Amino acid sequence: MSDAGRPVILVADDEDDVRDLVVYRLSRSGYDVVEARDGEEALRLAAGAPPDLAVLDVMMPKVDGYEVTRRLRADAATSRIPVILLTSRSQESDVSHGFDVGADDYLKKPFNPDELTARVRALLARR
């Protein structure tokens, strides 16, 4: 939780426009949002102040979303952070790989921002 008592969400995506929209939507829905432009930055932010939930793009420079998820799960301080993967890959094997590395949910691009907000809300409610 942030100082204001709002859940903190980490959004990592190298596509500026997608990240901007997700950040805008989640901020407007009452969450505090921190942004990362690649997987490395996402891991650094998560290690510094573990968020309540992470929305990660799969295809990111430096460290991809699968690997970020795997490393979050491997660290005791971040292992319980719910992760939603955003993926433009549609193969079943890609989706199942996401779950294998520890993701809690996934959303296929092109995505519906309303659906993303609903899934964020549902995962946070489950905590």
Partner 1 sequence: MIRAFAFGVIALGGLNSILLGILAWRRIRVAGAARRRARLEERLRPVTLAFLDGDGELPPLTRREQEIVADALGEYARKLRGPARGRIVAYFESQGTVDRELAALATARPAWRRAAAAHRLGDIGSARVGDELVGALADDDRDVRTAAARSLGKLRHVGGVEPLLAAAAASAVPTAVASWATLQMGADARPALLRMLAADEPAERAGAISVLALVGDAADGRAVSAGLGDASASVRAAAAHALARLGAERDLEALLLALDDPSPDVRAAAATALGRLRDSRALVGLVAHAIEDAFDVAQAAARAAVALDAAACARIEATSDGPHLAEAVDLAQLA
* Binding-site ranges for partner 1 (CB under 8 A): 15, 17-18, 20-21, 24-25, 28, 109-115
Tokens 């901020």, residue located = 27
Closer residue to partner 1, CB minimum distance, 111 or 124: 111
Closer residue to partner 1, CB minimum distance, 21 or 40: 21
Closer residue to partner 1, CB minimum distance, 26 or 123: 26
> What is the total residue count of the chain?
127
Number of CB atoms found within 10 A of residue 34's CB: 19
Supply the minimum distance, in Å, between the C-beta of residue 120 and partner 1. Answer: 15
Closer residue to partner 1, CB minimum distance, 79 or 88: 88
Supply the minimum distance, in Å, between the C-beta of residue 113 and partner 1. Answer: 6
Q: In what helix (H) or strand (E) does residue 94 lie, and over which residues does it extend?
A: helix 92-100
Supply the minimum distance, in Å, between the C-beta of residue 77 and partner 1. Answer: 32
Q: Is 89 exposed, middle or buried (0-12, 13-18, 19+ CB in 10 A)?
A: middle
Strand, helix or coil for residue 64: coil
Q: Is 58 exposed, middle or buried (0-12, 13-18, 19+ CB in 10 A)?
A: buried
Supply the minimum distance, in Å, between the C-beta of residue 22 and partner 1. Answer: 10
